Structure 1
């Protein structure tokens, strides 16, 4: 679950909310009030389409350690010290997220930050199948990603009609917070949609629904079981839910998903200048006669679009098409191909001018290629085991020094103690290897002890590819 540092952007968020405040209350004023609803039927409608995502991400010693989000969280893991020469600069960790099925042929909607630069992405379907997922595309500004699994006849989520959500409306979220699958949390829409910096002008739904790491990408739905949003982030400096959460409206998410689907078969153009909507206050500051348009606030680190756009320009039209909102800008760019030359009307230095912008191809933000497996650990399901000589005085079992591949996806980690392979007890790496060699199934069950808890963990020996 993406988090927003509390206090850092508070003033910007409150100021930007005025951009979408006007007109939002009219449809809501006609809604009849209702008692707190029962979400039992709504959950029944959405649970079959819910997807639990397992991903592998890498981080280095120079970066802060990411939050652990294991499938079976257990405390007080006993770590086995590694030798001095075993330090590594890069680590891999399994992270969980959520999503939901959009179409019977395997398209899945989730949040972009849940799969961005992941080495592997796997989808656990409601029927228990664990399938490799291909990242069709991601839009990090809107925080929307589209995935694809090789499956047919999947149950799909029921999507809400194009009606606004209203402050006070009851909603619920399904996901896998901290890896606890199919978890329901309920609350209300807390405020009219808010524009937050960095979200490309997307007016996010503010909630008091509890979301935590692993909830990202799950469906937000109303009492009728209709999906109204994609859960995206919390407002917190602590890394966990403190009372404010946000979701991307489903209409906006579907627009982005369709663009990503189309770009999967043809090049996708990108307007890489960083932009934000023009509120009435910004319009006054830049001398515009009225609010509207899209303000260029910066460029991405790599070179922006050629043609003379500058910070402080307000995009008013593209090839004669009026640009009043960020949605208008995205739609105008989506209709073009990389290399297209656009005639862009901008407001600059108190007057209207026309500049040329050349669109370039959008960057591929898919899965990071997985490195070639280490032959020394492949036969051990990706496990690197502590030599028996170093664990002679510890309780019996096989100790994990590090995990990768299938074992990492299953949730194993350094410090875990394996005491059995299926029903065969193991007390040394040699016994572990012998037990594996005696099995022919494509999945094995490892009895893992972590802290005060023990449980069998299924690990795939043969992993299909997307």
Structure 2
């Protein structure tokens, strides 16, 4: 027993001495272990690939900060204060709390006028003083004031508005104006970083960041316009402000958010700058926007579940024809499948609306499609697209 204990004590002392010697060698002659392993042909212990990958800097070209982009874009973004008079009536509340909860109150007394101020944003797009904003910001305003980035205040006049895109063009008389640099909106892709700059809730020059969630969004089946969807925070007062890319270039005009009342988070929309520029140019030239109109409503081409074809086939199906409109005069009927307009194939209903809106009223175009499975061709003379309210009356 004593011999075993003595042997164990000797081994422990030998191990401690060896560790101490290895420590001294490693301290004064670093790298000697690697040289010995190479001399005796031993492999270097390899690290797990995951550890090596984590230690290496991740490749990428994304900036650490977007301050430079904001510095380039923010001076062209303005605050808009639209003042108007609205009609109101006094309200008498019920004494019973239950009735108050159910019915609120009863209007009482004569109607009276009271001032109301609507907050919004805008973007300077020309050194001549033209400002793009939303139509709903300045609609029915009696007085429009614009606060510039450098603190100047300018009175704005309305050049024209387009309800369909919810855009309006203002003109301010001021010199030395910063102008937003316009990007190529066709290059915008889902996943691109974007910054929303505006005046949300009266908080001057606020910047929020997100990505492009989708492009080409259709918010109305009767409209030719499409939108950029983004999760960059857009709040009341952001309307008409700038949506810019990571370079500070203008890619869209913020216009709409879907809030918590719809159980939505991070869903906002902007008008692509290409569409906005087209509206701007027409309003400056003529005071209004002119679009071509076929006088029909469309839907996706229906496909039977057992047909083996994709869920949305190419083309557009006519769902309704306005009496006396261009399509009706050309013999277009409900359930017709339209496949081609002029020399261009029709991809879907939104594509057809974009094509017809781009054509000038009075121009003639050939429509090709299928009626009850048989090919047909007809020539249509486009009319001017009526305002939204007029189309609702025609539809009713």
By the TM > 0.5 criterion, same fold? yes
Paired residues, what number? 305
| Larger helix percent | 2
- Higher RCO (CA < 8 A, seq sep 6+): 1
Taking the aligned partners of 2:339 and 2:266, their CA distance within structure 1 comes to 38
SS at match of 1:238: helix
Residues 180-214 of structure 1, C-alpha deviation per residue, up to 9 Å, x if partnerless?
22111112223465333357354432222111111
- 2:120 aligns with 97
- 2:77 aligns with 50
- 2:384 aligns with 360
What's the offset of the Cα at 1:133?
2.5
What's the offset of the Cα at 1:162?
4.4
**Counterpart mapping for 1:30-69 below 5 A:** 33-35=60-62, 37-56=64-83
SS at match of 2:283: helix
Taking the aligned partners of 2:88 and 2:369, their CA distance within structure 1 comes to 45
- 1:194 aligns with 217
Taking the aligned partners of 1:99 and 1:210, their CA distance within structure 2 comes to 17
Classify 1:241/1:177 alpha carbon distance in 2 versus 1 (closer, same or farther; 3 Å). farther
Taking the aligned partners of 1:353 and 1:194, their CA distance within structure 2 comes to 30
| Structure 1 spans left out of the alignment, 5+ residues | 1-31, 63-82, 366-466
Task: Flag the structure with larger Rg.
Answer: 2
8 Å CA contact 2:297, 2:319 repeated in 1: yes
- 2:154 aligns with 130
**Counterpart mapping for 1:42-441 below 5 A:** 42-56=69-83, 85-88=109-112, 93-127=116-150, 128-140=152-164, 142-191=165-214, 193-198=216-221, 200-238=223-261, 242-264=265-287, 268-271=290-293, 273=295, 278=300, 282=301, 284=303, 291-294=313-316, 305-308=325-328, 312-319=335-342, 322-324=345-347, 326=350, 329-330=353-354, 332-337=356-361, 343-345=366-368, 347-351=370-374, 352-354=376-378, 356-360=380-384, 362-363=386-387
What's the offset of the Cα at 1:145?
3.1
What's the offset of the Cα at 1:147?
2.9
What's the offset of the Cα at 1:129?
2.2
Classify 1:49/1:241 alpha carbon distance in 2 versus 1 (closer, same or farther; 3 Å). farther
Taking the aligned partners of 2:318 and 2:282, their CA distance within structure 1 comes to 22
Taking the aligned partners of 1:170 and 1:225, their CA distance within structure 2 comes to 11
What's the offset of the Cα at 1:53?
1.9
SS at match of 2:232: coil
* Alpha-carbon RMSD: 4.1
8 Å CA contact 1:166, 1:191 repeated in 2: yes
Taking the aligned partners of 1:347 and 1:259, their CA distance within structure 2 comes to 35
Classify 1:108/1:296 alpha carbon distance in 2 versus 1 (closer, same or farther; 3 Å). farther
TM norm structure 1: 0.54
Classify 1:194/1:360 alpha carbon distance in 2 versus 1 (closer, same or farther; 3 Å). closer
Taking the aligned partners of 2:326 and 2:232, their CA distance within structure 1 comes to 43
8 Å CA contact 1:234, 1:240 repeated in 2: no
Classify 1:92/1:332 alpha carbon distance in 2 versus 1 (closer, same or farther; 3 Å). same
TM norm structure 2: 0.62
Residues 333-353 of structure 1, C-alpha deviation per residue, up to 9 Å, x if partnerless?
44424x556554455554434
SS at match of 1:41: helix
SS at match of 2:303: helix
Residues 44-82 of structure 1, C-alpha deviation per residue, up to 9 Å, x if partnerless?
1112211222224566669xxxxxxxxxxxxxxxxxxxx
SS at match of 2:183: coil
**Which has the higher mean CA deviation after the structures are superposed, 128-137 or 225-234?**
128-137
Taking the aligned partners of 2:382 and 2:108, their CA distance within structure 1 comes to 53
| Structure 2 spans left out of the alignment, 5+ residues | 1-58, 90-106, 390-396
Taking the aligned partners of 2:313 and 2:252, their CA distance within structure 1 comes to 27
What's the offset of the Cα at 1:161?
2.7
8 Å CA contact 1:54, 1:96 repeated in 2: yes
What's the offset of the Cα at 1:87?
3.1
Classify 1:56/1:312 alpha carbon distance in 2 versus 1 (closer, same or farther; 3 Å). farther
Classify 1:162/1:114 alpha carbon distance in 2 versus 1 (closer, same or farther; 3 Å). same
Residues 340-385 of structure 1, C-alpha deviation per residue, up to 9 Å, x if partnerless?
56554455554434263451365599xxxxxxxxxxxxxxxxxxxx
